[in-house]
């Protein structure tokens, strides 16, 4: 599922919002934003954007938020990406998991990931953590695998926390506190998630993960 993006059809009903504030490192050791947080090990840096966290034991340019494969990982270093696909939905199947989330040798991919350097080693794990569908991707640097690479990644990944969504009921098809109108699928059924950039500008949670569950009848 690497590289997958959330779908964006507009439907009505219950609005589940993970309202968690801005994406920023609140201290030198914590990366917190958009419903996800990790504790950074000494020497690590991190970035957050809607639907993702990225952390590495080397400096990351903000350009990697659009193209994580642009972070060139040197031997002995690691790059961690956590994609958040939002609350569970019927059309995506993520195996349930629990904290602390870890990557093991069984998560190492047989080949390279699309768009990433073919010379590197990768580990990928998709999991339903609490109510959030997450995918952890680790670029473990050039082959062959450095012995402590997974240990370094797990030191940070093991601190991952996902905030549960907050449920808001619509009122006559309008979003609470925003006045924005919603519409339904023709059959009045379905459920979809989409990124904050697709929310109306006057949304009170314009930086948050959103899921609509339609209940139009």
What confidence tens digit (pLDDT) does each residue in 144-158 have? 999 999 999 999 999
Q: Output 100 or 196, whichever has higher pLDDT.
A: 100
Give CA torsion, residues 142, 45, 47, 97, to 10 deg. 70
100-136 pLDDT tens trace: 999 999 999 999 999 999 999 999 999 999 889 999 9
**E strand segments, the chain:** 14-18, 30-33, 36-39, 45-49, 52-56, 79-87, 96-97, 120-129, 132-142, 161-162, 166-168, 191-194, 209-213
Domains in the chain with CATH codes: 22-162 (2.60.120)
Predicted pLDDT of residue 161? 94
**Confidence (pTM):** 0.69
Cβ-contact 135, 90 below 8 angstroms = no
SS3 194: strand
Residue 19 pLDDT greater than 80, yes or no:
no
Predicted pLDDT of residue 33? 85
Name residue 108's beta-bridge partners.
123
Give the pair of three-digit tokens for residue 77: 């270093």
Residue 75 pLDDT greater than 70, yes or no:
yes
Report the alpha-carbon distance of residue 122 to residue 125 in Å, rounded. 10
Residue 40 φ then ψ, to 5°: -85, 135
């Amino acid at each position: 599922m690497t590289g997958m993006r959330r779908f964006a059809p507009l439907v009505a009903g219950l609005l589940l919002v993970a309202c968690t504030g801005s994406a920023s490192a609140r201290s030198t050791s914590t990366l917190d934003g958009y419903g996800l947080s990790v504790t950074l090990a000494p020497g690590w840096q991190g970035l957050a954007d809607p639907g993702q966290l990225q952390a590495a034991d080397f400096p990351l340019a903000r350009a990697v938020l659009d193209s994580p494969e642009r972070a060139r990982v040197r031997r002995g270093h690691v790059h961690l990406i956590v994609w958040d696909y939002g609350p569970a939905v019927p059309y995506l199947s993520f195996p349930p998991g629990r904290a602390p989330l870890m990557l093991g040798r069984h998560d190492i991919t047989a080949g390279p990931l699309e768009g990433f350097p073919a010379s590197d080693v990768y580990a990928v794990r998709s999991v339903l953590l609490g109510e959030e569908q997450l995918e952890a991707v680790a670029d473990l640097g050039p082959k062959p695998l450095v012995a402590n690479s997974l240990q370094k990644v797990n030191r940070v990944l093991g601190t991952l926390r996902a905030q549960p969504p907050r449920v808001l009921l619509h009122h006559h098809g309008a979003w609470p506190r925003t006045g924005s109108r919603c519409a339904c699928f023709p059959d009045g059924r379905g459920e979809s998630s989409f990124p904050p950039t697709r929310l109306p500008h006057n949304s009170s949670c314009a930086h948050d993960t959103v899921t609509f569950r339609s209940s139009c009848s």
